[in-house]
Homo-oligomer: A and B are copies of this chain.
Amino acid sequence: MSKSLEQSALVESSWGKLYGVGAGPGDPELITVKGLKILQRSPLVTFPSGRNGKPGIAQQIISTWLRPDQKTLALDFPYIQDDEALQQAWDKAATQVLQYLQQGQDVCFVSEGDVSFYSTFSYLAHSVQNLSSGVPDNLTCSGSISSSGPEIITVPGICSPLTAAAMAGHPLTLRQQKLVVLPALYDAAALSQLMDFADVVVLMKIGKEYQKIWSILREKNCLEQSYIVERASWPEQKIYRDLGDHPALSLDYFSLWIIPVTESPPPFGNLTV
């Protein structure tokens, strides 16, 4: 081996790559071709663990695509609000993943929807980066410090607002419409005020706030054109329209409320994918 090649080998990273792949909203075929290729060639596929002993959402979505020889690893991302405990959980998950990356093995992490849009992948990737920064690169026998860490590659996925609109046969946005996405309702007054500005509002989590939101929409005359999509693209998907007739509804956690504030055409599609 020539000297220059030897030197080049010394600086080349031995880290495996961390892929973040959006599994899409639920229908297994709504993953991208690129995402599926990466998923299927990865020896190790990781995803957020489920609750109560059930497989997690992303795991359910991709299960039909996994080969029997692929290793899987469920990572614990607890549903808690405490910042310190969350950071500990992300670091623990990152440490598990780093064990493989450090051995030069690629790891594919999948989460439901998109991996940049309110996704656990963001936390995992940051912890992996933070914990690997300054870790000796085990190929470089000289013990030189790699400050770069593993390469992290993000492959986008279909997020739920796009899916909900498609399933309901509505355009989500048209022409010059301003879109606002709210991950939760914090403040009824703020939502009301916001509707003077936005053309379309998407509420990502409804939960126990249904009646509060319903009252605001009634007051703003937006109930009629609004719709809710529960579990978009899953076999158990439900679409709720004519919300004026539903002052109370009990909805799944994965339910989106789409509120066309300004004029919107009637739906053109149907519920088939």
Partner of A117, one of B31, B172, B178, B194: B172
Q: Which residue of B lies closest to A197 (CB)?
A: B194
Number of A interface residues in the complex (CB < 8 A) = 65
Partner of A118, one of B157, B173, B268: B173
Q: A29-B32, A30-B33 are in contact. Are A173 and B183 (CB under 8 A)?
A: yes
Partner of A154, one of B128, B166, B186, B197: B166
> Are the C-beta atoms of B114 and A154 separated by less than 8 Å?
no
CA distance A234 to B153 in the complex (A): 16
> Are the C-beta atoms of A126 and B265 separated by less than 8 Å?
yes
User: Please, which residues of chain B bring their CB within 8 A of the CB of A176?
Assistant: 183-184, 186
* Min CB gap A259→B, angstroms: 14
* Min CB gap A34→B, angstroms: 4
> Are the C-beta atoms of A32 and B34 separated by less than 8 Å?
no
A85 part of interface (Cβ distance < 8 Å): no
Q: Which residue of B lies closest to A29 (CB)?
A: B34
